[in-house]
Amino acid sequence: MNRFLAYFDLLGYKKFIEKNTPEHIHRRNEHIFARNPEMALADHRRKEGRYPGTLISDISETSINCLGFSDTIVFWSNGESLQDFIDLLKVAYAYNYFNIGFEFPSRGCIVYGDIWFTDFSQVNEKGSVYKLNMIYGNALIEAHGKAENQSWAGCVIDNSAIEYLNQIGDISSLLKEYTIPWEVQYKDRAPVRDYALRLVKGAINETLFSNMVHGIQHSFTGDNKGEIKGRVKEIYDNTITFLIEHKMKFPHYYYLDATNDNGTKIYAKIDNKTITRVIRTEKDGTVYEITSIPFDPDNDREVYSAQEVTLEIFEEHYIQATK
């Protein structure tokens, strides 16, 4: 059956097992294989936990499946529609973000193709467990091969998914929101320009960049995984090089839906020191206002969460505002 699948290989997992106590391994595996996937699957939904006053991830409404084994996490859809891909993309983005930025570096690949899953469990009278959780298919083989051949911590969307999606719908806005076209480094082949999942949405300033570098360093070295040197340093450096691509470049154009009772929308241009804002208010007609304010890269947080737009879109509204 054709479906979408996201495959993640945990980097340094063998050393993690070798260098830690069973108690630490058990506690951290609950995060790596349970809490983090559940957070990604829940899409910010929460429910009350076992103990009063606690909240846990609510995965009751997700349409995405998940299976963890050895040093691998896989997520897959039930179907092959555009919505199935969107649901999987959101989960893969969130898991990739949690892992690389805070928890445990991983490399991943999203594919489209033949995937099958078998689930069976039985406990006999002596308490012995026979459990069969199998996921298999050509798409899994392709995802495994491409993910484990990458020389960074990150996740790409394979051409098998891109080509199929282009046949069934327009994915340009999705790719712009969730990915960056990037020359991904591989171990045994020349770099390949793939759609790589962003490490964070939107542009980032120097403060956030520094914080994210610190988080990535921790994910590479935490849990007694050792120093960043040799092959690990190559993977780490490639990851940081990709993070640099997330920095804001000037001029920067963005759109912000500040909808209130007046239906306010903002189109803006930043030229490093100044924000030129076209404020559009829709109530009993359309009213435009142009303002110019200083740009504070450390405090103007809305800029980094806003949707990036093109020069043409900004100029269209700027021209209308000056008429």
Express each pLDDT in 39-68 by its tens digit. 999 988 888 888 887 888 888 899 999 999
pLDDT confidence of residue 260: 62
pLDDT band at residue 308 under the 50/70/90 scheme: confident
Residue 66 C-alpha from the chain's centroid: 16
**Alpha carbon separation from 160 to 4, 138, 167, 194 (Å, rounded):** 10, 12, 11, 12
The count of other CB atoms within 10 Å of the CB of residue 244 is 10
Contacts of 263 (CB under 8 A, 6+ apart): 281, 282, 283
The span from the CA of 94 to the CA of 233, in Å, is: 25
Contact 7, 72 (CB under 8 A): yes
Mean pLDDT value across the chain: 91
Domain segments of the chain as ranges = 2-244, 252-322
pLDDT band at residue 285 under the 50/70/90 scheme: low
Contacts of 138 (CB under 8 A, 6+ apart): 113, 114
Q: For the whole model, what pTM was predicted?
A: 0.87
Dump pLDDT digits (tens) for 150-200: 999 999 999 999 999 999 999 998 999 999 999 999 998 889 999 999 999
258 pLDDT more than 90: no
248 pLDDT more than 80: yes
Percentage of residues in the chain with pLDDT exceeding 90? 69
Q: By mean pLDDT, which of 6-15, 16-25, 42-51 is the weakest? A: 42-51
Is 2-244 in CATH node 3.40.50.450? no
pLDDT confidence of residue 320: 87
298 versus 173: the higher-pLDDT residue is 173
Phi then psi for residue 54, to 5 deg, are -105, 150
Q: Which of 105, 107, 137, 104 is nearest to 5 (CA)?
A: 137
262 pLDDT more than 70: no
